[in-house]
């Protein structure tokens, strides 16, 4: 993909891994041993046949498949080498190359904090639209996973409404998780084709990808897997999302839980590549420990960031891009807890070089969307991004000639070198207030939440999105009539 723009991304020059080289190797063999010795329950008849024909051991009574390591590694080599999450407009293409991090909104929340009424309520189609619109304007945001779902539409049509609201309000790549059946994926492909100008055009530059999941530990259901086949046939990249929670649906130890997650992802890829070799496949995870006191997911704990970083290393070791959970918090509002938990859960996978980090904008462990939190999280991501860039050491950055020209006892404020380099060398905040106490109070002593609200209002007033083809509305109307009937 020589010359393709890497838009809205964080270049990773200062990588920080959480697994040693020996740890990566032991994790690799552990995940392969899980697949060979313990196996995975595969409920899809089509997948079962593919695996048996490929030489897997299959226990029909339990539907457990045991995978030969050679087959797993062979299928890992069959995946598409270069993966690009195309935007609806090419300026928003996201190349998943292991050297850039793209910040992604998180999906499938069911609640929203209404920006106008300040009431928490069930999420609606307008919330899907508003979140997509705000995220489209964010400099640090690269890929749109609809933050919430349309709870105010008829059953069986949510995937149509979610995709329509997203397409109308963002030019960035959309990854979708509400298309959980074959027929729903067919609907998504029809809408995407209408937006692209035809199925062939969409397949060349797919701007919608499809999320499919395992059921941890070590179960792959039939409906989602069969839907994945349809998505792959239509040219959509597959994000295979695993969630073994340490202490609940995975071993309590982080290494054991990550090994289960890697095994599930390898199983998913093996099935997809046997069905359609060369399909773009993205390792995807969100692993939060079980809080043993509250018996709830501790989404904002440091372990979430650690497991995401370790899983990223393993994905890259096997040659896959990684989508990892981050920016997670169990806080109920944009407060101090949300700030430190979101930083803790996102810094580690960003510094590890995860290709996609999901989670911005959501609170209550990815349940409720706040538009203000989206712009706050964008600022957090750009701060961590500056850390990940590290310090460039070159003749220009060492600035010996500049130092000599200025000399002892003087300042560098008026030097051309300062004017030329400060914007790229220094982090430039949008929300953070660095003024004095007197200046801050003179401007109304606004809190971070108030400043974030102002930024949301500015985006709503000033931002624009390229309109869709007329065929999209016609296709959506026909599909809604079909699915509602």
- Give the Cα separation of 450 and 117 in Å (integer): 15
Residue 294, CB-side half-sphere exposure with 13 Å CA sphere:
8
Q: What whole-number distance in Å separates Cα of residue 331 and Cα of residue 452?
A: 17
Give mean pLDDT, residues 3-13.
67
Given a cut of 70, whether residue 181 has pLDDT beyond it is yes
Please check the confidence at residue 12 and state whether its pLDDT lies above 90: no
DSSP 312-344: HHHHHHTT--EEEE-S----SSSSHHHHHHHHH
190 pLDDT above the threshold of 70:
yes
Q: What is the Cα–Cα distance from 314 to 26, expressed in whole angstroms? A: 11
Average pLDDT over residues 171-200: 97
119 pLDDT exceeds 80? yes
Q: What is the pLDDT of residues 392-401, one digit of tens each?
A: 999 999 999 9
Closest to 287 measured CA to CA, from 252, 315, 313, 320: 252
Residue 163 DSSP SS3: helix
The CATH class of the 9-18+76-389 domain is alpha beta
Q: Left if phi > 0, otherwise alpha if psi is -120 to 50, otherwise beta: which for 57?
A: beta
For residue range 69-85, list pLDDT tens digits in order. Answer: 999 999 999 998 889 99
Could you give the percent of the chain with pLDDT greater than 70? 98
Q: Which helix (H) or strand (E) holds 40?
A: strand 40-42
What is the pTM assigned to this prediction? 0.94
Confidence of residue 485 (pLDDT cuts 50, 70, 90): low
Q: Which two tokens stand for residue 3?
A: 């010359």
Confidence of residue 7 (pLDDT cuts 50, 70, 90): low
Whether the per-residue pLDDT at 116 is higher than 70: the answer is: yes
Average pLDDT score over the chain: 94
Q: Residue 1: pLDDT above 80?
A: no
User: Can you give the pLDDT at residue 316?
Assistant: 97
Give alpha helix (H) positions in 208-335: 222-233, 254-275, 302-317
Sign of CA dihedral 370, 371, 372, 376: positive
User: Where along the chain do its domains lie?
Assistant: 9-18+76-389, 395-425
């Amino acid at each position: 993909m020589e010359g393709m723009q890497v838009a809205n991304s964080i270049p990773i020059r200062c990588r920080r891994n959480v697994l040693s080289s020996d740890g990566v190797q032991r994790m690799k063999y552990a995940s392969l041993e899980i697949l060979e010795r313990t196996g995975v329950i595969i409920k899809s008849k089509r997948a079962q046949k593919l695996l048996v024909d490929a030489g897997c051991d299959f226990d029909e009574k339990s539907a457990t498949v045991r995978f030969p390591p050679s087959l797993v590694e062979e299928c890992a080599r069959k995946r598409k080498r270069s993966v690009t999450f195309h935007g609806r407009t090419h300026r928003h293409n996201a190349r998943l190359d292991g050297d850039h991090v793209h910040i992604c909104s998180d999906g499938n929340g069911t609640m929203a904090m209404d920006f106008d009424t300040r009431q928490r309520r069930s999420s609606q189609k307008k919330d899907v639209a508003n979140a997509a619109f705000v995220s489209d304007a964010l400099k640090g945001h690269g890929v749109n996973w609809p933050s919430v779902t349309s709870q105010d539409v008829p059953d069986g049509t949510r995937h149509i409404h979610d995709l329509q609201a997203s397409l109308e309000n963002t030019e960035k790549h959309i990854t979708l998780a509400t298309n959980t059946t074959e027929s729903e994926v067919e609907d998504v492909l029809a809408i995407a084709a209408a937006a692209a100008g035809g199925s062939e055009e969409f397949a060349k530059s797919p701007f919608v990808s499809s999320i499919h999941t395992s059921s941890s530990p070590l179960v792959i259901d039939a409906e989602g897997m069969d839907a994945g086949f349809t998505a792959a046939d239509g040219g959509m990249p597959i994000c295979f999302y695993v969630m073994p929670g340490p202490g609940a649906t995975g071993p309590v130890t982080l290494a054991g839980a990550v090994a289960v997650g890697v095994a599930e992802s390898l199983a998913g890829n093996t099935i997809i590549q046997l069905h359609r070799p060369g399909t773009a496949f993205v390792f995807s995870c969100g692993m939060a420990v079980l809080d043993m006191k509250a018996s709830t997911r501790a989404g904002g704990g440091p372990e979430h960031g650690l497991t995401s970083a370790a899983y990223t290393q393993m994905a890259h070791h096997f040659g896959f891009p990684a989508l990892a959970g981050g920016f997670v918090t169990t806080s109920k509002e944009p407060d101090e807890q949300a700030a430190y938990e979101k930083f803790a859960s996102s810094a580690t996978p960003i510094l590890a070089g995860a290709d996609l980090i999901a989670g911005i904008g959501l609170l209550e462990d990815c349940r409720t969307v706040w538009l203000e939190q989206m712009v706050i999280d964008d600022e957090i991501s750009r701060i961590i991004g500056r850390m990940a860039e590290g310090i460039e050491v070159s003749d220009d950055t060492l600035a010996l000639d500049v130092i000599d020209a200025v000399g002892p006892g003087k300042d560098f404020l008026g030097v051309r070198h300062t004017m030329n380099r400060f914007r790229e060398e220094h982090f430039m905040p949008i929300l953070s207030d660095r003024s004095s106490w007197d200046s801050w109070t003179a401007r109304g002593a606004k809190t971070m939440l108030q400043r974030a609200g102002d930024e949301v209002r500015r985006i709503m007033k000033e931002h624009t999105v390229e309109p869709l083809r007329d065929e999209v509305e016609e296709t959506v109307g026909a599909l809604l009539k079909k699915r509602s009937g």
